[in-house]
Amino acid sequence: MIIEKIWTGNAYRNFNYLIVCPDTGEALAIDPLDHKQCLSIAKKNNWDITQILNTHDHWDHIGGNSEVVSVTSAKIIAHQNAKDLIPNISRGVKHGEIIKVGKSIELECLDTPGHTMSHICLLSHTEIPALFSGDTLFNAGAGNCHNGGNPQELYKTFADQLNKLPSTTQIFPGHDYLINNLEFTLDREPDNEFAKKLLKTNKYKDPTTIITTIGEEKNFNAFFRLQNPNIIEKLRESFKDLESSPSPETVFIKLRELRNHW
């Protein structure tokens, strides 16, 4: 499986992806907002974009669909409940369905509500799994719930799905918010050495070269560290009525509330 990680360089710091079968050159474009780059890279490498996967319906993820379709005639795939939100969907998918790319690639659809209620992540069936996480999971962070989302549902997605993925699973998110997210971690957990090291080594690095795993995220992503006593104690400074042993869900929701204004 070939993964082409495309940095848009826009104000939203989007990543787009081309997932390519090395045997056939067939490609799946994930959230191809920067359609010019996606099409140019595909043409340069003789790749044929036959499918588009939109993780969710926000404009910065579907805004390049029509241009890619007009050039390639690719079919648009999205969550089955997004049919009234994303124009011209050819295939609506649900949890557990498989998207095939070329001869050798299988990508499993995960129904991951929270950022929106019709959000899909893709998990590759490869020796080292890859998770294309859209706006659900970021490097060192979690998606917001401002536009049609729900923080309780996002917590359930983290607890019931993401937290149970193999520790080797590599994360390919929809945006580069790593530096800001690490600074948030260190505001919540000032002595987190993993976050300090990652911040120092990646502050001026090319965003396309940075890949973390689920196992690594559990060391520095506050949204996986919900029972850490330092995080809880720091939260109680902001939320005076927070009990001394809050539930993981409560900690997640309070962290998300703080991160909204970070």
Q: How far apart are CA 143 and CA 158, in angstroms?
A: 11
Q: What is the pLDDT, as a whole number, of residue 262?
A: 80
Which DSSP category does 70 fall into? H
pLDDT of residue 116: 97
The SS3 call for residue 194 is: helix
Domain 2-259 belongs to what topology? Metallo-beta-lactamase; Chain A (3.60.15)
Distance CA 3, CA 107 (A): 13
Domain ranges of the chain: 2-259
Q: Which two tokens stand for residue 248?
A: 């993981």
Going by their DSSP bridges, the two strands 170-173 and 130-134 should be labelled as parallel
Q: How crowded is the C-beta side of 66, counted as CA atoms within 13 Å? A: 6
Say how far apart CA 120 and CA 65 lie, in whole Å. Answer: 16
Position 102 scores a pLDDT of 97
pLDDT number for residue 248: 98
pLDDT attached to residue 235: 95
Cα dihedral: 243, 260, 110, 199 (round 10): -100
Between helix 178-188 and helix 193-202 the angle, nearest 10°, is 150
**What does the pLDDT profile of the chain (262 residues) look like in tens digits?**
999 999 999 999 999 999 999 999 999 999 999 999 999 999 999 999 999 999 999 999 999 999 999 999 999 999 999 999 999 999 999 999 999 999 999 999 999 999 999 999 999 999 999 999 999 999 999 999 999 899 999 999 999 999 999 999 999 999 999 999 999 999 999 999 999 999 999 988 999 999 999 999 999 999 999 999 999 999 999 999 999 899 999 999 999 999 998 8
Distance CA 259, CA 200 (A): 21
Q: Where does 31-175 show beta strands of DSSP type E?
A: 48-53, 75-79, 89-93, 98-101, 105-111, 120-124, 130-134, 137-138, 141-142, 170-173
Distance from chain centroid for Cα 132 = 6
Which amino acid is present at 49? I
Place of tokens 């090395």: 22
36 and 24 Cβ atoms separated by less than 8 Å: no
Task: Sheet with 105-111: list strands edge to edge.
Answer: 98-101, 105-111, 120-124, 130-134, 170-173
